[in-house]
């Protein structure tokens, strides 16, 4: 019975993970610009606060990149003989590839410049969300 619905369950999990990555992107923006964290002087916001709309415009790209990479990495195929640790490492590798691809695409395609600290926060939050 489980084999029969594995494809459906896998695609549902893929969509949930894409939505979680979009939420991680939002949370990274919020952490960088609105959370009163104590940051060193060289990380303080000096060029003003960017509009959220420019970050929200990246939602389709975030979801698309993570969907494509997770499908490419076969993250949702049944691997009953593989331990949880190996699955976590595989997910983190897929996340790292997706993050690098996302950075490259925003650099070459986007006209906006995104905060490096937002991208670092996004990478950490995304990794935690992927293994959680």
Q: How far apart are CA 130 and CA 125, in angstroms?
A: 9
Q: How far apart are CA 124 and CA 28, in angstroms?
A: 9
pLDDT tens per residue across all 132 residues of the chain? 456 666 677 778 889 989 999 999 999 998 888 776 666 555 666 566 788 888 898 999 999 999 999 989 887 776 655 677 778 888 899 999 999 999 999 888 766 678 888 899 999 999 999 887
Q: How far apart are CA 27 and CA 119, in angstroms?
A: 11
């Amino acid at each position: 019975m489980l084999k029969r619905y594995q494809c459906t369950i896998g695609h549902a999990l893929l969509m949930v993970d894409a939505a979680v990555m979009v939420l991680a992107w939002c949370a990274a923006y919020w952490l960088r610009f609105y959370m009163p964290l104590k940051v060193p002087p060289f990380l303080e916001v000096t060029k003003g606060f960017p509009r959220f709309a420019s970050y929200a415009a990246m939602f389709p790209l975030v979801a698309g990149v993570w969907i494509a990479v997770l499908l490419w990495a076969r993250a949702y195929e049944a691997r009953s003989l593989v331990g949880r640790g190996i699955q976590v490492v595989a997910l983190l590798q897929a996340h790292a590839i997706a993050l690098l691809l996302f950075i490259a695409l925003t650099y070459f395609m986007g006209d906006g410049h995104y905060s490096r600290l937002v991208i670092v926060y996004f990478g950490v939050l995304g990794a935690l969300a992927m293994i959680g």
